[in-house]
Amino acid sequence: MSATPVLCIVGQSGSGKTTYIERLIPELKKRGYRLAVIKHHPHDFDVDVEGKDSWRYMQAGSDAAMVSAPHKIALTRYVDHDLSPGELVDLVGDGLDIVIIEGFKKSDAPKIEGHRAALGKDLACASRDLVAVATDEKLDIAVDQYDLNDISAIADFIESKFLKKP
């Protein structure tokens, strides 16, 4: 199991999780960190393009297919269970300072929830693993709260709680 820190970004549908992560990535990169992002999807999906070689290999019965180019790789692999955040981090590889996962609200990994007042007062994650909320309103909860638009502040929080300076 990897020692790379894992942080899940969770929230209700429409709360802006993907956009928040998109804004967080360049802030953490600017600070010198290497990171990966994993999107957890509770349903089946397909990243292969029908008719392309890797798709054809999987259709023929291969348990995994990888496409490798000089600057990136893509892996498609059948699994027998919904992999845990730790198992996913092991697949991503070494050399990273943090792995951010969109989703996995039921895991035991630490979580930051994105919350919008327009979606109601309830949080998607009432877990003991909730470490902070990025929100557009003040909530009556006992975790750190940050303005949804203050990416620098949440990056400071992530840095202080999960990262060592490079």
- Mean pLDDT per block of 10 residues along the chain (166 residues) reads 85 89 95 91 64 83 85 85 87 88 89 92 81 93 93 96 78
Burial classification of residue 21, based on how many CB atoms lie within 10 Å of its CB (0-12 exposed, 13-18 middle, 19 or more buried): middle
The answer to whether 48 touches 55, Cβ cutoff 8 Å, is yes
pLDDT of residue 124: 79
pLDDT of residue 42: 61
pLDDT of residue 44: 57
pTM of the model: 0.84
pLDDT of residue 43: 57
pLDDT of residue 16: 87
CA 113 to chain centre: 12
> How far, in Å, CA of 82 to CA of 74, rounded?
19
